[in-house]
């Protein structure tokens, strides 16, 4: 089930990256992206970054590395705790 879920995430992320212009026309610009990524592409780049993050999470799900990755990323916050 993890593999199928991961593949679904990868397909959704790929579609978001491929159809960024369609998303921009139908859902409009996102103010946060425009404010923080305005000089580098604004909402277009924001939509693409969201798609790439979804693809990355899908790859982690497919390979079964989600737990290990999040343990690594959160280890500085949980280092002193048991």
- Whole-model pTM? 0.82
* pLDDT tens figures, 14-38: 999 999 999 999 999 888 988 888 7
Exposure string for 1-34, b = 16+ CB within 10 A, e = fewer: eeeeebeebbeebeebbeebeebbeeeeebeebe
The number of folded domains in the chain is: 1
* pLDDT tens figures, 47-77: 999 999 999 999 999 999 988 998 888 888 8
Round to whole Å and give the CA distance between 35 and 20: 18
63 is in which domain, residue-wise? 2-78
């Amino acid at each position: 089930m993890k593999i199928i879920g991961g593949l679904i995430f990868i397909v959704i992320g790929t579609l978001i990256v491929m159809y960024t212009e369609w998303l921009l026309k139908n859902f409009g610009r996102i103010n946060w992206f425009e404010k923080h990524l305005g000089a580098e592409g604004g909402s277009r780049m924001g939509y693409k970054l969201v798609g790439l993050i979804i693809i990355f999470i899908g790859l982690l799900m497919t390979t079964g590395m989600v737990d290990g990755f999040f343990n690594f990323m959160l280890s500085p916050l949980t280092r002193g705790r048991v």
